[in-house]
Amino acid sequence: MGDTGSGTTVAELVRRRWGDHRVGLIHEDLVLSHHQVASGAAARAALLTELLPRGAEPHLGVLLDNTAEFPLWIGAAALTGAAVAGINPTRRGAELARDILHTDCRVLVTERAHLPLLDGLELPGVRVLVTDQDAFAGLLAPYEGAVPADIDPGAGPPPGAPRPGGGV
């Protein structure tokens, strides 16, 4: 990937990959370009911006396995300036609820496999998104096509970004 320079943020790394159509993520049968990863992060960032309460600390809980959704949400949090709290799936019951509430997570992103962990927990003020359910796809759909701040979608790849087919 080359030298990213000191002080480079995750949000800057996401923005730099806009327009880069080389393979950026492979998970099982899914292959996404860097641009698709940046675009997916931007869509989730736009959704997250709408879901986080105004004036509240922007905290996002992530209770996901190592899936394609994980880096997309990390990028989304970076683009919105939200803090990410990794929620430990080995915790149970009251301890798990305490972890989520103590970190002030307003949105918790998870998947069906982890729903049994959340059964019966009191999580007031926490919006739970389940990424592998149809309802999530419907919730995300209006935000597809979102563009990270500081990106002109008509300008093509940023200077120095690899172009499709190689080269810069």
pLDDT score at 155: 45
pLDDT score at 56: 80
Tokens of 78: 């970076």
pLDDT of 4 strictly over 70: no
pLDDT of 13 strictly over 60: yes
Spatial distance between the Cα atoms of 124 and 121, rounded to a whole number of angstroms? 9
Round the average pLDDT of the chain to a whole number and report it. Answer: 86
What is the pTM for the complete model shown? 0.83
Per-residue pLDDT reduced to its tens digit, 58-111: 999 999 999 999 999 999 999 999 999 999 999 999 999 999 999 999 999 999
Spatial distance between the Cα atoms of 83 and 32, rounded to a whole number of angstroms? 25
Quick one: which of 61, 76, 84 has its CA closest to 149? 76
DSSP-assigned letters across all residues of 42-106: HHHHHHHHHHSPTTS--EEEEE--SSTHHHHHHHHHHHHT-EEEEPPTT--HHHHHHHHHHTT-S
Tokens of 16: 């730099």
pLDDT score at 19: 84
Per-residue pLDDT reduced to its tens digit, 139-148: 999 999 888 8
